[in-house]
Each structure stands twice: as structure tokens, then as C-alpha cells.
Structure 1
Amino acid sequence: MNIQEKQQIQQAFQETMDYDELMNCTRCGFCLPSCPTYIETGRNEVHSPRGRIALMKGLVDGVIEPSQEVKDSIDMCLGCRACEPVCPSGVKFGRLLEQARDAIYQHKKQTLPEKLIKGIFFKNIFPYQNRMMGVTGLLSFYQRSGAQKLAQATGVMNLFPESMRSMEKVLPSVPKKSQMKDRPRHLQPLKLEKKKKVAFFSGCLMDTMFMHTNDATVKLLQYAGCEIVVPSLQACCGALHGHSGEMEQAREMAKRNIQAFEEVEVDYIISNAGGCGAFLVEYDHLLKNDSEWSTRAKRFCNKVKDITSILIELDFHKQPLSLDNQIVTYQDSCHLKNGQRTFMEPRQLLESIDGVHYVEMKDAGRCCGSAGIYNIVQSEMSMQILDYKMEQAQNTKAKTIVTANPGCLLQMKLGIEREGRSNEMEAVHIVDLLLQAYENVNVRSNLHDEAATYIRA
């Protein structure tokens, strides 16, 4: 860093950081056992929550200067927020992290990979759903045309890092661009009378690369007795922007979404991605200093609910659900558990399925190492964390690892691929598993009813 950058960053810290929140940290150390980077770096305090808070406070107080070591410490943080539930003082570390990254990245010269990721994807693709469809449509063509098999067979993929080669293998089967367009925006309950009217937050990656999981989510809500509205003007949640120090863009995304969902009168706004949901419920904090939007943001946040929470509320777990006999374990989405404080609901749903023997994974709540784009920009640490996670998953003897977030899903698929266990294990989103479990029983019942009708005739 040059002198001008250091001065600008230090001033930004003094203007941006919530000093009262920094002072809430009593340096007690209860956060240390919950922090993956503290553990994986050999218990290095620089990479612990209280160590990072000490660095932030030191910059604000002028006791230390901005340095590469400070930036490395902030960058290496996963933002998993596992320190928050165990903190006796209730320090909102996730917010402090976002403020620190905002202060650094608005004034630090970016590397080429950072420029590409933020310039191309954050600013020009994620905010625009049509562009998201275009990019993922190209990925679909790559998969369907034979280009993917050719790239793998000819060794072209060997030009890329190992983690990216493995990730390319585990990408979901992406729908065609034509399939992503003109989907229903208003749906009625199936088989049950209406219990709730909800709006569905479809997201950017979830509504393109993981479109089939979004479709499964909507169908589950219909089976649970929901009327569903999918606002067409909604945008990316802004989580990747916010976690990467692009707070102004995150605020713009938040305003677009609040406005889009204000136009529909619903009981809840449903999310099926832990990372998105955790950011949506904090729009009120994101916009707290904006007099025009703060009250509107609070109304929005009060309606946000994860898909697993509403399914439990509507007693979906009491309906007949069945799968082939198998051991299942669950990998917590950090932001679903630590941000939305949704922990028991996914487990209740899994344990309600006939044929499923649920085994709790050791440290199920510890981050898997995905963390947005962390597994790209901090690949070595990400893989180190993933190796530990896979060891715990394999100890359960599970056939199926269930997750509730797209990043976690890809990371666990990557872990299975790296361990050479693709023929023995699979990773699935909880929504896809639940829909299969419901329709296994439902389809059998329909076939039985149709057969009985035929015999009577």
C-alpha cells in the first residue's frame, strides 16, 4: 500500500466503523473455538474474531496503520458469523466485517482477479436477470453441446487450478435459456385449501443455475397450502456485494427488492438460500441511515422467512413423506443458522421422512469453506476447511449430505468429488429431497386410486 492509500483507508475506518459495536467486544475469547480460520491457522489470534476486532479498533484509534497483514486478516475471514451466537456481549461481527471491507476495498488498488469478479459479475451481471440468463445459458450450451466432455477429454481443464477443475465437474445441469423465461408468476395451492399467501424471493443464481430447485420450492409451497406470487421486478439480494465491500451496490439491490415486494400483499417473503435470506433480513440495518427507506426496509425484513421455517409452521412434516432406506446427514448453512437463527427446522423435516435414518454430523454448524466467492479467492484455506468437513461427513456413513444453500451444495459436491466418493455419496438441497419424499408417497397414492377406480369400472 502506498502512503495515500493508507491515509484514505484509515480515514474510511474512522468514518465507517461502528465504534460502539467495536467496544462491545470484551476480548473474552468465547468466540475462538467457533472460528474456522483461527483453528486452521494453528490458533493464530490475527485470524480470530477478537483479533480482527482489535485490528479494526486499532485502525480507528490510530494505534496501527493499514497494512497487508491487516488486509490479509480481513480477507481470510469467511464471514460465517459462527462467533455471533456464542458471544456473551452479542457483538454483531458480520456487520463489522462488512464495514471493514467497505473501508478497505473502496480505497485499495484491486488485483486483476478482483477487478474481473467485481467489475464483470458484481456490477454488470448479477444485478440484471436477463444477463444472468444469458451467461448461464452459455454454460448450459457448454454442457449440452459436448464441449464439456471434449474439454475434459483433451486435457484443456488441466490448465486451471485443481479446485476449479473439480468444481467444473460438479456444476448442476443448467437449463436452457428458453426454459428460464416466461415462468409462472402467480400460483395457487395444490390439494389443500389456502393457508397462507406468500411471495417467493427467487434470487439470481438460484433462478438460473439452480432453477430446478426453485421450481421444487414453489411446488412444495403449493403442496403446503400456499398461494404464491413471484414478483418480476426483484433483483439479486446483494449479499455477495455486501460481503465483498461493495456496500453502495448492495443498498441499490436492497431498494429494488423492497420496492418489488411492496407491490404485493403477502404474509411472508420466502427464501430457499441461507445466504440470501440472512442478507434480506438485515436490509433494515443496511438502510438504517436512509430516512426514505429505513421504515420500508423494516416492514420487508419482518416478512422474510426461510422455506424450512414455513414448512414447519404449516405442518408439512406431518404429511406422509418417504424415501428409500438411507442414512442422511445435514450441513448447516452458516447464514441460515447464524444469521437467520434457523437450526432445528431442517432437522425436524429430515427426521420426519420415512426411510431416513438421520445422523448428526460433528461440527455440522462449522463453515464448509464456500462462503460466497471465498473458495475462489482463498482457495487454499477453503480446501483445508472442506477437508475437515468431509472427514466429519464420512464419519456419519451417510449416503446423502443435505444442505440449504447453493454455495454449500456446490462445496459439498466438490468435497465428494475430491474424496473420490461420487459413487457412494451425494449432496442435495433440502428442497429437492423433500419434494422427492412427498411425491414418492403422493404418486403411489394417485396410482392406487386410479387402479381402484379402473377395477370398480
Structure 2
Amino acid sequence: MTITKQQEKVRQEFTERMDYDELMNCMRCGFCLPSCPTYGETGQSEAASPRGRIALMKAVVDGKKKPDEDFEQQLNLCLGCRACEPACPSGVKYGHLLEEARDILNKHKKHSIPAKVLRKSVFNGLFPYQNRMRGLNSMLWLYQQSGVQKVVQHSKILNIMPGNLGTMEKILPEIPSPKEMKNRPTHIEPEGTVKKKVAFFSGCLMDTMFMKTNDATLFLLKEAGCEIVIPKQQNCCGALHAHSGEKEKARELAKKNILSFEQEDVDFIISNAGGCGALLVEYDHLLKDEPEWHERAKLFAGKIKDISEILLEVGLPKMKLPAQVVTYQDSCHLRNVMNAGTPPRKLLQMIEGITYKEMKESDRCCGSAGVYNILQPEMSTQIIDAKMDHMKATRATTIVTANPGCLLQMKLGVEREGLSEEVRSVHIVDLLAEAVQLGKEQE
């Protein structure tokens, strides 16, 4: 086996950094196979399964395989949904192995100049700075409000865009105005007795592009009797960085969030995005090699709760909606990492007027997976098309999910099927807020 100097450096770093005990914990039993979307979509390719990818990682560490382009492509084909983890009888933390491997590969990868510029702009220049996120969203708001969007949509420009980018433009949410994004609350008290005092993790995309969902979240927490603090110094959770081979930046963002939230004396820290919550709850793992931060990260992670968990715990007022069939698509990380697949379903089934229908394979990834639907459009499209078949079988008119990426992906699927006039996709807190508001009006 001929190996280049660059590949040897990568192999050495795999040997130094990969958790060999965790690699050895995989018994190759195959329980993970049915849970893996790419294993099924590739015709049951062993290399496209969790145990296959673990075997590839171990082979690189053992010097039996080159960390070549094929190896990297196989790791990149993985959605990182972590559905294999609950299925694993040995409790292998596959997600941790995948993130470490991607970080090593990215460190040694010679990106093209356009790719370098894009990665630096997005990971270092945009997401860590909320004022820049607001600036970008202000431009999107102007694009929508000025009429340019309608002109673009009526032209043929979108048809020549690669992958699903043209369709994705059509399903952008209504962007809040610059004025709305500036006037964000920092402290909210309920009208009655305070049941819990919580801090709200507002996020980066959630407090800009999806700001109305954040407002609905604060409304629900207030109605549930929670006092809410929203630390101003918080920033992006770092999930996109951690999943894309930028772990050092993810650690930097994690430390800033810990500093921001540990000053608040609260019962819980609430997240309303499954992807964010899954990294927040694993800050202790992210900072495991830094003794001065690990214990603080552990205390922080121990307070993280998804919005559905806290609402189920403290209770909501009467909820009512017009008659409709509702189905639910899991956020992979909410279900597989935060172990909160049940609370959203229980809350939906508490709404008067709706008929809840469970969708086949609702626990299987929708194909969004951060920026996966942009980087791996072919596989992502296969997955969402299959998902739409299951959705149509429920005859649902409302699809609910609990993560912004999943929400956009479901909107994308509905648009591709030509059902946007008949089926709507909503974040669970938006639907719950509608239900609480209607329940109050009918009291």
C-alpha cells in the first residue's frame, strides 16, 4: 500500500486522536443497519453503514487503509443523524467518532481557494457574529419586500441553479424587518405565579430568519408560567462548525455561551432547535480535554432542555385548532441525542380539534442534516422524496417538526411534490402558539 506524506500525517493524527476503545466497542452486530438512511438508500452498501464507517476509521488507525478521497467521501456521505446510537447495544458514540474524523480530515485538506474563502466567510465571519447575521437577514428582507424576489421567481434564473437551490429559494420564510430584529427582549415575567425560571438559548438563525418562532417560544413559556431571561452575550451554538470539521471554532463558541449563561441563576436553559440542543447538551464532551472548562460545561449541559420537555412538564393552557390532520417528523438530534422524541407527540395530541397521524419512518432523517442537502443534493433528494411518500399516506395537511433545517427540508419536499397549496409545514412551537391563542379566545 503506497501512502503519500500527506496521508501519513492524517493517519498519524487518527492514531493520536481517535478514541480506539470506542472504535473497538463496535461488535459489528448489525443492529445499526436498519436505522441508517444511507445504508438503505445505497442498496445496503456496507461502507455506507455506521459499522462500515467505523471499520474504515479503525483500518486507517491500524495502517490498513489509506485516508484517501474515497474514505473522505464515505464519511461525508453520512448524514450524522446518529440514529445508529439508540440502536447500538454497545452504546457506541458514533457521532463523536464521526466529528473527530471529519475534524482531522478538514485540518489536513487542501481546499480550493473558493472553498477556503466560503468556509472562512461562513464559519468564522458570519455565524459567530449575530450583528452580521442580522445584516444578512436585512438584505434578505429587502430582497423579499422590494419585489425583487417575485421578479426572480417569475424569471428562469432559478431553473439553472444546481441541486435544489432554486426550489429552496421559494421556501424561504418571511424574514423579519431590521427594526424587529433589533428590539429583542432580555427578560420576561409571567402574569401569575412563577413555576420555573429559565434562560432561553435564542440561537443565530432562530433569532433572525426564524425570529417569529422564537417569539412564539417566549409566548408559550410565559403562558406556561415561566420567568425567562435571554442573555445578550450568547452566540451561535457551534453545531454547524462541529459537524463540518471546525471543532476548534465550536469550542470557542461553546466557551462564550457558557460564560454568558453561567451568570444566570436558572432552573433550565431552553432550546427550541433540535440541532442546537444536541450540541449544547454535549458541551462537556466538546470540552473534555480542557480541565478548566470541562466541569463548567458539564453544569451547563445538565440544564439544557428542549422547549417541548419544559412545556410538557409545567403545562399549557387549553389548546384548540380548526379540524386538521397533523403528522410529525422527528428532529434526528432531538430524538437520538437529547432523547426527546415523545414530548412533542404528547403535546400535539393534547390539542383539541386535530387528528394526529403517525408517519411511517418519522424517526428517519429527512435529509437536511445541517448543510447536507446543499453538499449532497442527490442523496438528500432521494431521502426527502421517500419521506413525502410516507407523508402523503397519512393524508396530513400539517407537517410538524422541531428544527429549522428539518422545517425547510419538509417545505422543500412539499414544494417538490406540488402540494404547497394543500400542505403546510410548521415548527411545533408555532403550532402550539396558534392553539393556545385560539384556546384563549374561546374561553
Given the two structures, how large is their TM-score scaled by the length of structure 1?
A: 0.95
Equivalent residue of 1:62, what SS?
Answer: coil
Q: Which amino acid aligns with 1:202?
A: S
Distance 2:368 2:229 in 1: 30
Alpha-carbon deviation of 1:315? 2.0
Question: Cα distance, 1:62 vs. partner?
Answer: 0.6
CA 237–312 in structure 1, closer or farther in 2 if over 3 Å, else same: same
Name 1:197's counterpart in structure 2.
197
Residue in structure 1 matched with residue 271 of structure 2 by the alignment: 271
Q: C-alpha deviations, 1:34-75, integer Å up to 9, x for none? A: 000000000001110000000000011111111111111100
Structure 1 CA distance for aligned equivalents of residues 112 and 71 of structure 2 = 17
- How far is 1:5 from its partner? 2.3
Aligned ranges 1:23-172 → 2 under 5 Å: 23-111=24-112, 114-172=115-173
CA distance in 2, matches of 1:118, 1:391: 35
Comparing 151-160 with 342-351, which one deviates more in the overlay?
A: 151-160
SS in 2 for 1:172: coil
1:174-194: CA deviation from partner (whole Å, max 9, x where unpaired):
01122101311000014x311
Query: Partners in 1 of 2:155 and 2:436 — Cα distance?
Result: 42
Deviates more, 1:167-176 or 1:145-154: 145-154
In the TM superposition, 1:269-418 aligns within 5 A as: 269-316=269-316, 319-418=317-416
The answer to whether the 8 Å contact 1:5/1:108 transfers is no
* Deviation of the 1:2 alpha carbon: 8.5
Q: Deviations over 1:352-394 (max 9, x none)?
A: 0001100000000000000000000001100001111111111
Q: Which residue of 2 aligns with 1:454?
A: none
The aligned amino acid for 2:299 is: R
Partner of 1:452: none
| Partner secondary structure for residue 385 of structure 2 | helix
Mapped to 1, the partners of 2:376 and 2:438 lie a distance apart of: 41
Which amino acid is 1:166 matched to?
T
Q: CA deviation at 1:156?
A: 2.1
- Alpha-carbon shift at residue 112 of structure 1 (Å): 5.6
CA apart distance, 1:205: 0.3
Residue-by-residue CA offset, 1:310-332 (whole Å, 9 max, x unaligned): 0011022xx31100001100000
% identical equivalent positions: 59
Aligned length: 442
Q: Tell me if the contact between 2:158 and 2:167 (Cα under 8 Å) persists in the aligned partners.
A: no
Q: Which residue type is aligned with residue 219 of structure 1?
A: F
Which sits farther off after the overlay, 146-155 or 325-334?
146-155
Which residue of 1 is the match for residue 430 of structure 2?
432
- Partner-residue secondary structure (3-state), 2:292: coil
Give the secondary structure class of the aligned counterpart of 1:131.
helix
* Structure 2 letter corresponding to 1:315: G
Q: SS at the partner of 1:337?
A: helix
Q: Report what 2:419 is aligned to.
A: 421
1:267 maps to a residue whose letter is D
Distance in 2 (CA, whole Å) between partners of 1:8 and 1:123 is: 25
Distance 1:423 1:112 in 2: 42
Q: Describe the SS at the equivalent of 2:289.
A: coil
Show structure 1 runs of 5+ residues with no match: 446-457
CA–CA distance in 2 between the matches of 1:193 and 1:60?
57
Distance 1:295 1:425 in 2: 46
Deviation track 1:138-183 (CA, whole Å, cap 9, x = no partner) reads 1111011111111122222223125111100001000112210131
Task: Name the SS of the counterpart of 2:40 in structure 1.
Answer: helix
Give the Cα separation in 2 of the matches to 1:347 and 1:234: 30
Per-residue CA shift, 1:236-281, capped at 9, x if unaligned? 0000000001010000010000000011110000000000000000
Question: For the structure 1 residues 18 and 122, does the alpha-carbon distance in structure 2 shift closer, same or farther, using more than 3 Å as the test?
Answer: same
* TM-score w.r.t. length of structure 2: 0.98
Counterpart for residue 246 of structure 1: 246
- The SS at the match of 2:76 is helix
CA contact (8 A) 2:237 2:254 kept: yes
The answer (yes or no) to whether the contact 2:3–2:66 under 8 Å persists in 1 is: no
Residues 368 and 116 (structure 1 numbering): CA distance in 2 closer, same or farther, change over 3 Å?
A: farther
Change (3 A) 1:422 1:213: same
| 2:251–2:286 Cα contact (<8 Å) kept | yes
The 3-state SS of whatever aligns with 2:199 is strand
> Quick one: distance in 1 between partners of 2:367 and 2:385?
9
Structure 2: which 5+ residue stretches go unaligned? none
1:215 aligns with 2:211: no
Contact 2:274 2:333 in 1 (8 A): yes
CA distance in 2, matches of 1:390, 1:402: 13
Task: Report the Cα distance in structure 2 between the residues aligned to 1:222 and 1:169, rounded to whole angstroms.
Answer: 33
